[in-house]
Amino acid sequence: MFNQKTKFVMKELNFEKLECVNGGCSIEDMMLYASLSVYYAGKSSLLSGLYLHKLYNCM
């Protein structure tokens, strides 16, 4: 379901230093955010919610 970039980002998540993916918002990044949203939709973790909030603030 997830491409290699998504798997890498999910593996390398650092909740202490949340930053934008690639420091920008290309179409590819938006697709990544969308796939992460789908992944985290089923999670009730505060950290996953915080991560998504930070991602969408980059857009």
Encode pLDDT of 6-43 as tens digits. 544 554 554 444 455 445 556 666 677 777 766 666 65
Q: What is the mean pLDDT of residues 44-55?
A: 64
Helical (H) or strand (E) element with 6: helix 4-11
For the chain, the domains span 4-57
Rounded Cα gap, residues 47 and 44, in angstroms = 9
**Is residue 29 within 8 Å of 3, Cβ to Cβ?**
no
Residue 58 has a pLDDT of 56
pTM summary value: 0.29
Residue 32 has a pLDDT of 73
**What would the DSSP string read from start to end of 14-56?**
-TTS---GGGS--HHHHHHHHHHHHHHHT---HHHHHHHHHHH
